[in-house]
A and B are shown apart, each in its own frame.
Chain A
């Protein structure tokens, strides 16, 4: 007993026993986890809210750029908002300059540029088929052209990089022309067209939302057109497809400098569809605002839910708090027990949210046909955990302080 008294005296004299404090904290953490596990039904609602909010945040932020690009593709087919068209203006009947190969290579390297396609043209070209003569616009393009305008094949296929590299004698015809000359899309496939004394096999019919504008066009591989078509133009015009609409302004601003750095830029004009771009940005801004507001609202509701549950827990467990204090719990012991409980709930919700977020990211990647940026996912994961700590401490702080400051007698007499 004397030893016992000296133990108390020693403790009171040297109160900073760090080892013991840590041991107690670890045990209190264990007790808190046990409490949450045993009363898990009480926390299901808020855990679900925070988990969904975190999952939404992770999915949207991680896949935001890919989503924007995809959304951009869809909207772009309607208005071409992310396509920039630099061209050299004609001086009277004569064009002064055209885009050199090194310029095209440099343009493709501008950050935010997804595709660059230069175009050779020969208006008012003619072809004969079964002794009939047809007029059309001849265009020499590379395979990037299809990607710039999101074209696809209404029938057959569009020529690819191999065809361009080999200078293949193949062509893609516009829908209107296919019907006029051959009587239909399928009928056009495999037919041979004579253009400037060269024969070209029709491998596909142009399709896509904006294919109607090019119904009277025949497309040859860029290299083929350059080598075989008489009077074909130089590449006076280039189409640049930006990754997202956010890239349009900086890319448009950089184009002139890049061209000037590689060649004479006299007569250069840069055409951007600013009005559709603004409309697209406005729509996406509202959509983003709605999505992020929903996520923030979900997380705030989760936080308020935890605060509410912890407050209710403090009231319903008043006698328990009094009992623990009567057993010798310090104010800090009670404070940390409730704070750990709050943290335990938010961390569980966050981990669940991260798991769901990963599933969401994988699903969206699958749908968009891309790979998720792992670095960004990791940042989101850490942000989710940090947020869980912030919301856990924020929502649990006041109830924990209230619990810790409770008077033993009042707590023990509480009914």
Chain B
């Protein structure tokens, strides 16, 4: 792994979160899920966010993906305030700037690997003739080129997660958000997926935020932050 990026001391900031809070209202009671969270992630950096269940990890990830609005604070991506975006602009932001990898390896049912990777390109308006190369390129980064026309329901768990990663990469995003990406994989497949993550961040200067329980996953990251009761340390 590149030591410069591992130290996190070089490169531009991709994600800048300052004093970010997220509250839920439960009747008269206000539940503070995220308390004045600060997080800076640079290009080429892979940051792990760890914490016990209910600590607000998923909420933080959803806020980063603009799936949930924060209650207060600021959120800049490459220096641009993204909290002021409209609903459609948020969708454009998701397809142009970020990729998402889910714990449950969510692939579209009754579809091939190619069709799964094609959809983000469809939404991005990429021309049809450009798509096969970009899909092959993304699959080659997770060594799954040979499975390109395979139905997604015939893949193993590890392969499904790798397809999920390739799908996150296909639009060449600025950063990837991963929610427990190895949560449903055995040790061998987990290590393989983490190796791909390392190669991706090193090779492309892409930033990555990984929410995980798993210390092995955290060890593969440049930096680990711990979220406890809505407070982020590290």
Measuring CB to CB, which residues of chain A are less than 8 angstroms from any residue of chain B? Answer: 1, 4-5, 7-9, 11-12, 15, 17, 20-21, 23-24, 27-28, 31, 34, 38-39, 319-320, 323-333, 407-409, 412
User: Do A4 and B172 contact each other (CB < 8 Å), given the known contacts A327-B100, A328-B94, A328-B96?
Assistant: yes
Contact yes or no, A31 B122, CB < 8 A:
yes
In the complex, which of the residues A23, A31, A327, A409 has the most CB atoms of chain B within 10 Å of its own CB atom? A327
Task: Please list 19 pairs of residues, one from A and one from B, whose beta carbons are closer than 8 Å in the complex, sorted by A's number.
Answer: A1-B43, A4-B173, A8-B92, A8-B96, A20-B125, A24-B122, A38-B110, A324-B123, A325-B94, A326-B100, A327-B94, A327-B100, A328-B120, A329-B119, A330-B92, A331-B91, A407-B67, A408-B65, A409-B62
Q: With a CB–CB cut-off of 8 A, which chain A residues contact B171?
A: 328
Interface set of B (CB-CB < 8 Å, partner A): 12, 43, 62, 65, 67-68, 78, 80, 85, 87-89, 91-97, 100, 102, 106, 108-110, 115, 119-120, 122-125, 127-128, 167, 171-174, 205
CB atoms of B67 and A409 under 8 A apart: yes
How far is A79 from B100 in the complex, measured between Cα atoms in Å?
A: 80
CB closest residue in chain A, given B68: A409
B95 near A327: Cβ-Cβ < 8 Å: yes
Q: Do A17 and B96 touch across chains, with their CB atoms under 8 A apart?
A: no
Q: Do A412 and B67 have beta carbons less than 8 Å apart? A: yes
Q: Which residues of A contact B109 (CB under 8 A)?
A: 320
Closest CB of chain A to B167's CB: distance in Å? 7
Q: Pick the residue among B87, B125, B205 that contacts A1 (CB under 8 A).
A: B205
Q: Given A38-B110, A326-B65, does the pair A331, B123 have CB atoms closer than 8 Å?
A: no
A interface SS class: helix
Q: How many pairs of A and B residues are in contact by the CB < 8 Å rule? A: 96
- Cβ A327 vs Cβ B174 within 8 A: no
**Which residues of B are found within 8 Å of A15, using beta-carbon distances?**
88
Cβ contact within 8 Å between B205 and A23: no
With most chain B CB atoms within 10 A of its CB, the pick from A5, A28, A319 is A5
**Distance (whole angstroms) from the CB of B88 to the closest CB of chain A:** 5
How far is A7 from B12 in the complex, measured between Cα atoms in Å? 18
Complex CA distance for A7 and B102, rounded to whole angstroms: 26
Give the CA-CA distance A28 to B172 in the complex, in Å: 21
Closest chain A CB from B200 CB (angstroms): 14
Interface core residue of A23, A328, A329 (most chain B CB under 10 Å): A328
Chain B residues near A326: list those with CB within 8 A.
65, 67, 94, 100
B97 lies within 8 A of A408 (CB): no
Q: When chains A and B are docked, how far (Å) is the Cα of A31 from the Cα of B96?
A: 21
The residue in chain A whose Cβ has the minimal distance to the Cβ of B107 is A323
- Give chain B nearest CB distance to A327 CB in angstroms: 5
B94 engages A28 (CB within 8 Å): no
A34 to B114 alpha-carbon distance, docked (Å): 14
Return the chain B residue nearest A323 by Cβ.
B106
CB nearest neighbor in B for A413: B58
CA distance A412 to B125 in the complex (A): 24
Say whether A327 contacts B62, CB under 8 Å.
no
Given contacts A23-B125, A328-B94, A330-B88, contact A323 B108 (CB under 8 A): yes
Residue in B closest to A330 when the chains form the complex, CB atoms: B91
Q: How far is the CB of A333 from chain B (nearest CB, A)?
A: 6
Q: Does the CB pair B97–A325 fall under 8 Å?
A: no
Q: B152 CB to closest chain A CB, in angstroms?
A: 12
Please determine whether A12 and B174 come into contact, CB atoms closer than 8 angstroms: no
Closest Cβ of chain A to B206, distance in Å, is 8
Whether A24 contacts B92 by the Cβ 8 Å rule is no
Q: A49 CA to B182 CA in the complex, in Å?
A: 48
* Given pairs A328-B91, A328-B120, 19 additional interface contacts (CB within 8 A): A1-B174, A4-B96, A4-B174, A5-B80, A7-B96, A8-B93, A8-B96, A11-B96, A23-B128, A24-B122, A24-B125, A323-B108, A325-B94, A326-B100, A327-B95, A327-B100, A329-B91, A330-B92, A409-B68
Chain B contacts of A327 at CB under 8 A? 94-95, 100, 119-120, 123, 167
Contact B91 A4 (CB under 8 A): no
**Residues B88 and A31 in contact, CB atoms below 8 Å apart:** no
Q: Closest residue of chain A to B175, judged by CB?
A: A1
Q: Are A5 and B174 in contact (CB under 8 A)?
A: yes
Determine the distance from Cα of A24 to Cα of B125 in the docked complex, in whole angstroms. Answer: 5
Neighbouring A residues of B80 by C-beta, 8 Å: 5, 9
Partner of B78, one of A5, A320, A323, A409: A5
Chain B min CB distance to A153 (Å): 67
A185 to B119 CA separation, bound complex (whole angstroms): 82
Which chain A positions have C-beta within 8 A of B174?
Answer: 1, 4-5
A325 to chain B: which residues have CB within 8 Å?
Answer: 91, 94
